Structure 1
């Protein structure tokens, strides 16, 4: 019935648009020439030309989003250099984004410059963010706390929605069908009449889910459906005043009968821009967001409620920003804001709230024609933790018009959040894994033991309940870029030093093969390595790009223990206990030493067709310490072997306003195996090949 309604909606909307053909305009999809005027706003919170930035920034264009056929943010991020989406094997059904080896807790996600909240089970679920109305995605790598606060220690991902630019009604209606009965319908409308513009976007996604544990009852991901509705208004009230207003609502429900699982995400955003003069600019912004989940687990025998898990997070943030331009390439930015956040969760001991005030300043200037310097700092005063100062310095020097060097250094601070302290969560919809905050992990493990759900404990019992400390970091990036004609290349060296890093680890394994996760301080941790990106225009309509990341991520204390000869492990081949050396220490969990991607985009204008082939390789990574020596070494048996996912799609325009697209993700049907599965069981890390087809009507 739901599917029939879905198709009825498509037919109705398509028929309605036939009457608008007098207002239709045709959009071209050919590979554009190199556009040096592409701008980003996330890196400096002002408009900056992408090719001139002194920071490592990745830009994902609308063209790339459309031609790959992806429908959710996490799918496209996983194909970018230096960015990984952690698979199901690591967090029991959820995925989190990792940048330069830094976990998702330190990556801030924004929509039009304001934060997305809702880390109810650890990672921020990026699969709930539809991309049908996205203009571009901007990714700033490295510490960005000087502008965005403590959650941006590892980087920022900013989703920029498209802005109406035509006086005629324009937009598209599309439907995509894929494996696992994955059905996605989206409608996007835009219009600008004089000084007033509006944009409306609606998206519906449903799926039958999939199963990563075929030998167990139930499914790993249960059937679900969700809706996204977003409306935006743009008004040029006068020559000096602009107004932007946005409202977004997301609703998701899992089919876990007789249990229930619902999720909502509401965002209200108002921004008023004042231009008192040609050199100055003021922005007044108010943002409110609320994220809720509601889960009830019932006894199938007597229908009693066994677990009720309600989550209600609210954030109110007013902010004011001022920019003054002294001259070309010389801008001072000042800002101040206030955060008030509450979190009410049934599994917390009590409702929690905090407030903070912050000030930030940034000076972007060119002391010489070829030299650009950006210096900034942010001061945060928190109701629960000590005040913190987060400075950052970025420099770029243009050796010649094609070659430049750039570098940055920045610091940040992050205290344990309430989730890391008090979370007591079991996710039925995600396969039954559990996550315990530090303050409740002892009683959580004991409860599982009393309920006869615990198969084995993966850590020493004496470590349970040890307090978490606040963490701080310093990040460095140094790179060189080359851009000339159809060739561009970049090499970036990075290092991030953390003290008291808070990371996830596996505390125990349940009888059903799922994991119990907790939190731990890594006393002194660093991630370092290099990233390379290459893009070349092979022909007028054929473009090749490739990227590679080399990553080392270690606990400094464990390195010292190894150098002192204090770490031992049992060799599974010889059954002898051996002393580990430096080469035997693999590094931090869930970090791959090598990651590689290659993409080929091509078009045949004569046929109005395009095709692309994308391959992403992730090197082997370990999930947890299994031999009890407190670190992940090469003798542990918790490694997921390296694998490659190959994705492809083909698109063709039909007639004047229609286009079709077919494709496959994970072409070679890689499924892998979770090494932590029970001896007589099997747990996969990927559901297999996804085949999709899409029809689109543009007007």
Structure 2
């Protein structure tokens, strides 16, 4: 009996000894910050856990023998550790995880702040649309970037013409004139060119798009009240890149585009070429085009010279020519008669020359000089009326960046010249000249707290045939980033902005500037605004990653310019009470097994014109918008996406309210032999369009008027094509 008791005791001791304990502390390999929320799992076992706020975790009941321990945290490289149990001692293991951003610097370095910082370490809130997402959106609309922006939370692409399709970008509910559009940091898309700007920026050569919402005047001056959108081009690398795209749609659009770039030794080049052909399209058979007949050509060569690794030069020239004709389908087809006479023609030529010099110093400081000259020539024709002119824009910026271990400082000066010359009457001639100086300091107070403050001083002279004015603006801005732990972070920022007067707005664009009078005794609009957000990321399971961003915004524009009408002429005046826009954005992202991605965005916007009596809501602005996208992707093999968008009721300029609506899209792409991809896109397959509710065109047929555009005009479209990447 004693023998059996001894054997049983030995078995119990052996069993107890085989139930081992593992204690770990997990830290960031770079900052040594203790990481909370790290998923730790014993391979081929049900034993798992999550680190606490001190990065600590204890796992029990681990069997004897060699065990593989897996560590997962969103934003970090997955890590595995082999441990043999029982261990010789019970000390706590220290595990260090490497940030995945260190593996993907090309995607996370932001250029709009000019400081070479990652999004993770930038106090200014920046949203980056990367090359992969841009490639997906190019399947939907290869001709321009309107689809990229239309489907982003908090952004609204507002069509301004029923027949020509012109559009502008609204950020957080504010008119397009309050958003600064940049291409590679150059500001060449303002005033007369604004209504066609996004229609003439192709996505084929873009590396990323950066969106800064809220006041952004410290680095970019006037016009950045609502925010900045910077379209950033690809640059040549040692390995050449050669892309080709062919697209065809059921509504008569053909797109042929090519992009090539490479660096060899001290020289590099890139070139983009794009041809767009569009037949006039009338979806509701009312004899008026929903999409105009158009021909568009773009060529953009750039040359790069690298005398040394610390010195570079770039010289580029972008040329775009567009002819559009919309209106009565009989007139477009050359069959005009007494009852079919209406048309709207737009002919534009845009030429932009850019030069850039970059110099890096051994101290890690760098100097950059940017200069551009843009000429935009546009002619608008409708029956018995023509409006045409040339907008000349010159932009020069010189900046110096000081990089230190705990802070970054950028300072610079810039000069902006803008002149519009109207043909024939010259009644709307005008010009402006801005001299600006700025400084911005980013300070890593601690690893968990980073502050950014800046100040800009602009002196602006602007004039037209009626008056001239000179104003000086002081534009401070302050932002802060709080990295609470590895899962939680928060940003807050506030600043001032301004916008000098211009007659070129969404409203005047929609009437082809007919009977618009030159400004007289008006002042620049001034603003104060801010944003605050909270970010959270975690792994719900080992294969399911989750992130959420909750952002709040508010902007007040004082002395807003308001278009008035006396029954014959239209003119601008400063309102006594402000425009106030406030609201919030919610963005959710789920990633399952790296193959399935679900994006959900919600925007609530409460924007009011306080100078109005009665209904103060801004027109053509939904209070609620929802963006949904489900994507399945096997890299370099297969891609499929389903998207849905909800737009709430909107008020029109006449005070009537539109219905709310949903729209859906579906896209499939298949890659063959690594280089060839075939795609097909079903856009708005529920056929949501304005003419389903009411005709956009109002009689009489030979002298029509048009309703405000508040949703799609073309309805359901299908397009497909091929992409070749060599």
**TM-score by shorter chain over 0.5:** yes
1:277 aligned residue: 362
CA contact (8 A) 2:411 2:440 kept: yes
1:262 aligned residue: 347
Q: Deviations over 1:575-630 (max 9, x none)?
A: xxxxxxxxxx462212111011011111245x92110111122111011244xxxx
Shift of 1:60: 1.1
Change (3 A) 1:676 1:518: farther
1:587 aligned residue: 617
Distance of 2:597 and 2:400 partners within structure 1: 40
Distance of 2:243 and 2:523 partners within structure 1: 50
1:177-192 alignment runs, 5 A limit = 177-192=248-263
CA contact (8 A) 1:438 1:466 kept: no
Q: How many residues align?
A: 586
**CA RMSD across the alignment:** 3.1
Are 1:336 and 2:413 an aligned pair? Answer: yes
Of 535, 560, 565, the match for 2:589: 535
1:302 aligned residue: none
Change (3 A) 1:171 1:241: same
2:110 aligned residue: 41
1:401 aligned residue: 486
Shift of 1:503: 5.1
Distance of 1:675 and 1:696 partners within structure 2: 38
The secondary structure found in structure 1 opposite 2:120 is: helix
2:638 aligned residue: 609
CA contact (8 A) 2:179 2:224 kept: yes
2:721 aligned residue: 694
Shift of 1:307: 3.3
1:184-333 alignment runs, 5 A limit = 184-211=255-282, 214-215=285-286, 217-255=287-325, 261-296=346-381, 306-328=384-406, 330-333=407-410
Are 1:94 and 2:179 an aligned pair? Answer: no
Are 1:84 and 2:156 an aligned pair? Answer: yes
Distance of 1:424 and 1:137 partners within structure 2: 27
CA contact (8 A) 2:442 2:451 kept: yes
The secondary structure found in structure 2 opposite 1:401 is: coil
1:51 aligned residue: 120
The secondary structure found in structure 2 opposite 1:435 is: coil
Of 61, 82, 91, the match for 2:130: 61
The secondary structure found in structure 2 opposite 1:86 is: strand
CA contact (8 A) 2:163 2:289 kept: no
Are 1:361 and 2:434 an aligned pair? Answer: no
1:581 aligned residue: none
2:232 aligned residue: 160
Q: Deviations over 1:175-224 (max 9, x none)?
A: 00012210000011111112322111100111113347743x44354311
The secondary structure found in structure 2 opposite 1:120 is: helix
Are 1:474 and 2:528 an aligned pair? Answer: yes
Change (3 A) 1:548 1:499: same
Shift of 1:172: 1.5
The secondary structure found in structure 1 opposite 2:202 is: coil
CA contact (8 A) 1:358 1:381 kept: yes
1:447 aligned residue: none
Which range moves more in the overlay, 357-366 or 46-55?
A: 46-55
Of 595, 600, 607, the match for 1:553: 607
The secondary structure found in structure 2 opposite 1:383 is: strand
CA contact (8 A) 1:377 1:392 kept: yes
Distance of 2:405 and 2:413 partners within structure 1: 24
1:142 aligned residue: 214
Shift of 1:521: 4.2
Distance of 1:688 and 1:544 partners within structure 2: 25
Q: Deviations over 1:231-281 (max 9, x none)?
A: 122222113311122211111112466886421111111111112322311
Change (3 A) 1:557 1:202: closer
Shift of 1:502: 2.6
Of 387, 403, 422, the match for 1:345: 422
The secondary structure found in structure 1 opposite 2:148 is: helix
Structure 1 stretches of 5 or more lacking a match?
A: 1-31, 299-305, 428-432, 441-464, 510-515, 562-566, 568-584, 627-637
Distance of 1:499 and 1:337 partners within structure 2: 26
Shift of 1:517: 7.7
TM-score, normalised via structure 2 length: 0.75
Of structures 1 and 2, the one scoring higher in RCO (CA 8 A, sep 6+) is 1
Q: Deviations over 1:393-422 (max 9, x none)?
A: 0011111121111100010112212546xx
CA contact (8 A) 2:162 2:696 kept: no
Are 1:487 and 2:546 an aligned pair? Answer: yes
Shift of 1:556: 2.9
Distance of 1:613 and 1:391 partners within structure 2: 43
Are 1:175 and 2:246 an aligned pair? Answer: yes
Shift of 1:467: 6.2
The secondary structure found in structure 1 opposite 2:134 is: helix
2:51 aligned residue: none
CA contact (8 A) 1:294 1:310 kept: yes
2:7 aligned residue: none
1:126 aligned residue: 198
The secondary structure found in structure 2 opposite 1:114 is: coil
Change (3 A) 1:100 1:370: same
Distance of 2:548 and 2:296 partners within structure 1: 40
Distance of 2:163 and 2:574 partners within structure 1: 18
Which range moves more in the overlay, 395-404 or 476-485?
A: 476-485
Change (3 A) 1:675 1:407: farther
Distance of 1:178 and 1:403 partners within structure 2: 45
Are 1:654 and 2:681 an aligned pair? Answer: no
Structure 2 stretches of 5 or more lacking a match?
A: 1-75, 78-98, 327-331, 335-342, 463-469, 540-544
Distance of 2:251 and 2:171 partners within structure 1: 30
Change (3 A) 1:90 1:250: closer
CA contact (8 A) 1:505 1:624 kept: no
CA contact (8 A) 1:144 1:156 kept: yes
Of 130, 147, 154, the match for 1:75: 147
